[in-house]
Structures are given as structure tokens and as C-alpha cells.
A and B are shown apart, each in its own frame.
Chain A
């Protein structure tokens, strides 16, 4: 860390902040020691450009402009105080406590550090945030998927991306191109929704199925999310189909407790010591997997395609083990 650079950045910021008018580069070169001492015009320009970038990266709004009376090469810079400062915020003790709690929700390094920085600013604005004050149950948002940060950045900056994606059955990942509109967490799994550029339609992707690196395919602000897009609603449409089909299964008395809980109806089966359940399901493949777990405690009656799928999988198990 260079203390000298920090000094220069802070002095530049103060100079632009306290001035009522645009400050020209020429003037900045006079008042900031490092700029004054720069070996050449070129060295000064380079240093100034980098400093401006550093401040902008911190979120400092540096405006460029000039006065009508001035010529174009007399353009200057300024920081408008109202755009720079955090507005007044007064929080009651309980509000401040839940904000401290919200800061503990993120279990993802990048966002945890962003919330810490936000709390630091609130403290500087006079808010008394006590992270330890409220020790109650709170949800935790983890994001272990390595692609999370890139997707988050792509969504917030509106940059298109390309990535490899593995679907349930394909062995090789396919390359997808996406305008990511939103990022969604449902039951601790992360998804990205947006416009699939090759299919020309909205699609949803699960982050844990992304293979390899996610690459930006355009600069920030490359696309706009259509007006009125509701990320939650869109996710609902793109999510796997809801449970529309009905199955009838027989289960051994006292067994398949989780299925009984979900059953639409239940009663005695034809076979003594067995019960008959009626269940709703969405996807045949995932429901087949679930039923297989009950082994010999469950027999599928209907529909025939479900019965066939279960029998086929059981045969596959026997064959593979025997082989």
C-alpha cells in the first residue's frame, strides 16, 4: 500500500468536491503535489487518468464538463456533493440491529465483504450497528458455485456471458450464450435467468451445472432487461413443471412415511398389510428415482409408464451389480 498514492487520491477527491465549478486539469496540476512534480505532461496525464479510475471504482461520481464560456480543451471535473454523500439516515435501535443481522446472512466472500463495507459507511453516518446485538435464527445465503461472482457481476452490470452447461442427460457440456437478467436462489440453489441468445427465448440455468469458466461476451450495459420483467414471476414460468399427473402406488403398512405425508388420498390396498396411495407428480424421471428408494416396500400400480420405468431401473441395478 502506498501512503503517498492514498494521499494523492484523497486530495484529488477533496479538490473536486469542494469546488463549486469544474476544475481544469491545469488547475489540478498546480494544487496536487504529485501532479506538480510529474516528470512530463505524459506522466501527469497517465497518473491522473489512473487516479480518476481508482476513485470511480470506489463509486465516487466524477463528472466531466465545462462552462459554456470555456473552450473545449478547458473541460474540467467535479464531484457533486449531493451525488457523493450518503443521504441522511436515522435508524431506531431495532432497525440497526436487523441491519447488523442482515450483514451476517451472506456466507459468500465477495458479498460478505460488500456488506461489511456498507456497514462501515452506515457507522460513519452515525448509525450504531451492533453485529452481536441480536442473536436470533437467521437465514444464511451461501454461494459455493465458482461461477457465482461472475454471474452476479454480469447481472448487475448487464454484460452478456458465454459458458459451458451440462444438462441432466448429456455427457458433454454445451456452450450457451446468455443475457443474464437476474440471479435467483431457491432452496439454497442458485440459478441465473435471462435471454438465451441462441434459442432466442428466456431460459433458466442452474449454477452448479455450469462447467468451466464463465466469460463476458460484451461490455457493461450491453443489453436492457425488458421493462416490467419480474424475476420471480419469470422463474416460476421457467421452473420445472408443477405436479400435474397422478400416480397410484401400494406401500407396505407403516412404510414410505414421506410419501404418505404427500398423498392426496390413502386407503387399504387389495393385498393385506399394504396401503394404496394416490400421489401427484411432475417429472416422470425424478419421481421414478424417488419411488425406487423405497425398494420392496412399494409397488407402482399406475400409470403404466411409471411402472415400466421403475421395473426397468430395478433390472438395470441387478444387471450392473451382477456384472
Chain B
């Protein structure tokens, strides 16, 4: 937020010191290394913070007024010991942005987490709200809805058991790209959430490759007695960059998109967008499966036209003509 202290400024340093002083006092002694790790800064920063403290204390700043740092311990063993700082025994209250960020984060866990975790999340949420006081009020103006489909919740719990028990699952999955239902045996690796949807990250024995299955497209999941293969030991995928991962080997297609269909650029990771003088957009995107692009072009019904490659433009026209023939 723009009201966050900018890194490197005195505000940031004072903000950290207001937490560091009570932290050090609560623990008695802490190494510079550990304090640096806990506060996510370098040991040099912690040393500079301590140097500031040497000149701080009760008004008058006379001999007995200053915060006392054990120099021998600091220089010798790299350990910080503070005394004469009782007046800063507790950290500053959470400000409204901090309180809201944490409370909203916990509420997202309450909504999107699994049944077993809900009770503990609810307890933690109550305590944080109580400690934050008025500052937590802002969180009431933020509403997060993650997944609310009960079928998906039930499915999540079956798959969660499979991941934990390292057992295979027989999945019935509806593929939107191929428009077909397939049954496949998979080795579950993890359940993960990205952009509002939950996914099963798994090794699929049907295609013999790693796949992500969106849970609302899984019609059925049967927990099998068979253990997973070595493929399930892979690291879970990091979806923080989004779910579509176009491969550089994929076909590069170009579409001319009318202003009415600009949403395309919000939904799919596009390689390039150029604004045309007439307000339309020239969009380049990678396409793993040509059938997917034909579907997309049909859905955009005249608000988009495939510019390249020509074969795809032709495929779209053929599909539209074929569909029209159904209407006589």
C-alpha cells in the first residue's frame, strides 16, 4: 500500500525497531544472525539498528537513561543482549492495513481451507480480531469467496486422503478442450489453488505425463488401494505464475479482436497485444491444441478473427459452416 513505509527509510527502521526492542527483551539474548532471519533483513541491518538504539532512551538521555547493549557479547559472540528498555516491552498495535491483510488472509483460509483446519483457523481469527481491536474493522469491507461448491469440497477431501496416504486414484474427468470424458488412473502429488480454482497436481498413467486437473471438472474420484509410483515424489508445481503455461513449442496464433471481446486478454496469457487504430486489438498467443483455438474463435462469434496461421482461420470457417448447416 502506498501508506506502507518505503524500504530503507527511517520510517521502516523505526517500525522494525519498535518490534525488535520487545522481541530482544522477550527472548533475553538472540544472535545477530537469528534476529536477521526472523526480521527478514541482513545481519548488517540488525547491527545498524542496534547502533541507533545506543542513542535512545528516556528523556534527558543521561547515563542511566539510555538503552543498554552488552558490547562484549555483541562484538565477541555476535549475540544481542538489551537492558534498560522496559518502556518498550510490547510491540506497537497492528495498523488497519496490517490487521485487514491478516484477517482477510485468515478468512480466505476459513473459506478455502479444508474441514479439518477450519476449527483452528476460526480460533486464530478470533484472537487476532480481538488483539487488533478497531483496526480489524476494515476487514469487514473486504469479502473473499474462494470455493463454495459442496461437491468440490467432498472431492477435495477424498483427494486429500489420497495425497496424504500416497494412494492412487481413478479419476473421471471432463476435458473442456477435447470435449470428452476420460477415466484415468493418477498418482496424486498435491492439491493446489490458483486464480480461484482448486487443482489436483498428479502424474497421469493414461497420458504418461504430469497433469493438472481442475476439481470442478472432475466428475468422480475413486480412492484405490494401490500405492502411488515413484512419479508422485515430484515437487508440487508452483502455480503462483498462473495456471496456463504455454510452451515455447506451441503454435503461435494471431487474432484480431474487436473491443467487445477484449476480455480475451484478461483470461488467457497472451504473448503480445497491439492496439489498432480502429480500437481492435491484435493479440498473439500460444496454442497447445488447435481445437481449443477453433472453439475460442467460435465463442467470440465474429468479434474475433484468426489472422494467422491460415489453416486455423480456415478450420474456424469450416466449423462455423458445418454448425450453420444444422439449422438448415
Interface, chain A (partner B; CB < 8 A):
1-3, 5-7, 9-11, 13-15, 17-19, 31-33, 54-55, 57-60, 83-92, 94-96, 98-99, 101-103, 105-107, 110-126, 136-142, 149, 152-153, 155-156, 166, 168-171, 181-189, 208, 225, 231-232, 235, 254-258, 261, 288-290, 292-299, 307, 311-322
Contacts and interface: CB of A to CB of B under 8 A. Distances in A.
B1 A111 contact: yes
Contacts of B98: 114-115, 117-118, 121
A254 B314 CA distance: 26
Contact of A57 (B11, B23, B130, B146): B11
Interface in B157-209: 160, 174-176, 179-181, 190-198
Given A102-B102, A102-B106, A185-B143, A299 B326 contact: yes
A13 B195 CA distance: 43
Given A114-B97, A137-B191, A137-B192, A98 B117 contact: yes
Nearest to A101: B109
B91 A121 contact: yes
A256 B179 contact: yes
Contact of A6 (B14, B38, B114, B321): B14
Contacts of A60: 92
Contacts of B319: 295-296
A58 B266 CA distance: 36
A7 B55 contact: yes
Nearest to A113: B4
Contacts of A290: 299
A282 B60 CA distance: 72
B260 A169 contact: yes
Contacts of B131: 86-89
Q: Chain B interface: which size bin?
A: 35 or more
Chain B binding surface SS class: helix
B141 A156 contact: yes
A95 B55 CA distance: 38
Contacts of A170: 259
The 10 closest A-B pairs by CB, nearest first: A316-B302, A188-B196, A313-B301, A139-B112, A59-B95, A102-B105, A124-B91, A187-B196, A124-B19, A118-B98
Interface of B: 1-5, 8-23, 26, 38-40, 48, 51-53, 55-61, 87-88, 90-102, 104-106, 108-109, 111-114, 117, 120-121, 123-124, 127-128, 130-131, 133, 135, 138, 140-146, 160, 174-176, 179-181, 190-198, 217, 219, 239-240, 259-260, 262, 266, 279, 294-303, 305-306, 313-314, 316-317, 319-327
Of B131, B301, B316, the most chain A CB neighbours within 10 A belong to B301
Contacts of B297: 317
Nearest to A15: B59
A299 B327 contact: yes
29 contacts: A9-B10, A11-B61, A13-B14, A59-B95, A89-B128, A89-B131, A95-B124, A96-B124, A98-B117, A102-B105, A111-B101, A121-B98, A124-B26, A125-B90, A126-B26, A137-B198, A140-B193, A140-B239, A156-B100, A156-B138, A166-B262, A184-B145, A188-B195, A231-B142, A231-B143, A232-B143, A290-B299, A295-B295, A296-B319
Contacts of A298: 323
A1 B8 contact: yes
Contacts of B108: 102, 105, 139, 141
Contact of B324 (A88, A184, A315): A315
Contacts of A102: 102, 105-106, 108-109, 121, 124
Contact of A99 (B3, B124, B141): B124
A109 to B, nearest CB: 9
A261 B174 contact: yes
A233 to B, nearest CB: 10
Contacts of B87: 14, 17-18
A171 B127 contact: no
B22 A14 contact: no
Contacts of B111: 139
B124 A258 contact: no
A318 B60 contact: no
Contact of B144 (A119, A185, A254, A258): A185
B118 to A, nearest CB: 10
A124 B193 contact: no
Nearest to A187: B196
B192 to A, nearest CB: 6
Of B3, B57, B217, the most chain A CB neighbours within 10 A belong to B3
Contacts of A320: 302, 305
Contact of A86 (B12, B91, B142): B91
B322 A296 contact: yes
A134 to B, nearest CB: 9
Given A103-B105, A232-B145, A292-B299, 5 more contacts: A5-B10, A118-B99, A182-B141, A311-B324, A317-B316
B15 A58 contact: yes
A86 B88 CA distance: 11
B120 A95 contact: yes
Given A121-B92, A257-B179, A10 B19 contact: no
A95 B325 contact: no
Of B16, B21, B56, the most chain A CB neighbours within 10 A belong to B56
Given A124-B19, A183-B141, A156 B109 contact: no
B189 to A, nearest CB: 11
B117 A87 contact: no
Contacts of A314: 298, 301, 320, 323-324
A85 B1 contact: no
